[in-house]
Amino acid sequence: MNADEHYMSRCLQLATLGAGTVAPNPMVGAVLVYNGTIIGEGYHQKFGEAHAEINCLASVKEEDRKFIKNSVLYISLEPCAHFGKTPPCVDSIISNNIPHVVIACRDRFEAVNGKGVQKLLSAGIKVTEQVLASQALQVNKRFFTFNEQKRPYVILKWAQSKDGYIAATNAAPAKISNEITDKLVHKWRSEEAAILVGTQTALVDNPSLTTRLWMGKNPVRIVIDLNLRLPAHLKLFDGRSKTILINLLKDDQKPNLQWVKIDLSKPVLTSLLEALKNQGLSSLLVEGGAKLLQSFIQLGLWDEARVITNEALQLHSGLRAPDLNNFRQFDEQKILSDKIQLFQNLSSIHHLGIF
């Protein structure tokens, strides 16, 4: 790893601290380096607030500010050149007389793509691009999928026994993953914009779909309830976080509860993802049930799957787990008896250019 890659690696590390709080904006980190020493760091912390570059420059100590005009600014994504929730970051870079900017990858969002780089070059600033670009694209896979595919980045998740069942014979929910893995799942929830279950899962499991085991924001809860038959006593209607009911009957809204009507001119899941895109939800964690998860797989409407297998548990019969049909596994970890496998749908993420 050379010096540019070393500092860019730190930018990417900082960027991920914005997971779950900056969507639908991208996660971005920035590092300011003077003569081999980091004198400023920052990341985009919250949607609508200051971007990484601004936070980085603001972090520079007063006694070090004289070095800014001779420093190199590393950014994990091309700086914005347009007015959005905040002013263009390139203007701040230029006004601070930073002579050299190193960028991991360009922002392919139409309002930015190439414009930030061009504005820096026009101001006489040296620009170096494509430093750890693949890793940077991976960090912002949700952002790029949302803007390029016009749908949320879809993550499937389920827990299964060693012999491949997700529930007992009577369809009652079975305790499969351990307490540590449960905390990890709640961390996953905090990183996504929305979480989805089907009607049957809502009825049988009565899930909360919150991040109560992890410090972080609750995702928007999405429930497919086409005929609006779910009873009001379910935890999904407790008002703790926003809940959207995908249905065929009505559009309506109350505090923390929204009904979104779809039609059946397209497959239900296609209409669902379009509705979530219109809601500005850039990522979706699908937690069940088995039929719903399998439908996403069969239609190819998924990007990533996270499968938890308790290798110490056998159910012998019951509700079969979804079948991933030998999709590519890209990572694996163990938490006590739980094996966590991560899969990618390469046909859906080829636009990212990661692999």
| Shared-domain flag, residues 301 and 155 | yes
Q: How far apart are CA 30 and CA 270, in angstroms?
A: 37
Same domain, residue pair 160 and 109: no
CATH at 207: 3.40.430.10
Looking at 139, 164, 181, the residue that finishes a domain is 139
CB neighbour class for 325 (10 Å; exposed up to 12, middle 13-18, buried from 19): exposed
Tell me the C-alpha distance between 209 and 186, whole Å. 9
Q: What is the pLDDT of residues 226-283, one digit of tens each?
A: 999 999 999 999 999 999 999 999 999 999 999 999 988 999 999 999 999 999 999 9
Q: Is 145 within a domain?
A: no
Of 216, 215, 220, 213, nearest in space to 182 by CA = 213
> Are 175 and 315 within one domain?
yes
Per-residue model confidence as pLDDT tens digits over 42-79: 999 999 999 999 999 999 999 999 999 999 999 999 99
Residue with tokens 């509860």, as numbered in its chain: 257
Q: Which helix (H) or strand (E) holds 102?
A: strand 100-103
Q: 99: domain range? A: 3-139
Spot the catalytic one: 41, 53, 192, 287. 53
- The SS3 call for residue 179 is helix
Place of tokens 């990858």: 105
In a domain, 291, yes or no: yes
Do the Cβ atoms of 195 and 284 come closer than 8 Å? yes
Say yes or no to pLDDT of 172 above 70. Answer: no
**Tens of pLDDT, residues 80-91:** 987 777 789 999
Are residues 185 and 67 both part of a single domain? no
Question: Do residues 43 and 97 share a domain?
Answer: yes
274 is a catalytic site residue: no
Q: Verify that 344 and 259 share a domain, yes or no.
A: yes
Residues 126 and 195 in one domain: no
% pLDDT > 90, the chain: 86
pLDDT category of residue 354 using cuts at 50, 70 and 90: low
Instruction: Give 185-217 pLDDT, tens digit per residue.
Output: 999 999 999 999 999 999 999 999 999 999 989
Q: Which of 72, 81, 20 is nearest to 51 (CA)?
A: 81
pLDDT the model gives residue 31: 98
Tokens of 351: 């636009």
What is the pLDDT confidence band of residue 343, given thresholds at 50, 70 and 90?
A: very high
112 plus 213 within the same structural domain: no
In this structure, of 33-47, 119-133, 301-315, 322-336, the range with the lowest mean pLDDT score is: 322-336
- The answer to whether residues 48 and 132 belong to one domain is yes
Domain containing residue 16: CATH number: 3.40.140.10
Confidence band for 171, pLDDT divided at 50, 70 and 90:
low
94-99: long-range pairs with CB below 8 Å, 24+: 94/119, 94/120, 94/123, 94/125, 96/57, 96/68, 96/69, 97/68, 97/69, 98/32, 98/68, 98/69, 98/71, 98/72, 98/73, 98/125, 99/69, 99/70, 99/71, 99/72, 99/125, 99/126
Number of structural domains, the chain?
A: 2
- Mark whether 50 and 86 lie in a shared domain: yes
**Co-location of 111 and 157 in the same domain:** no
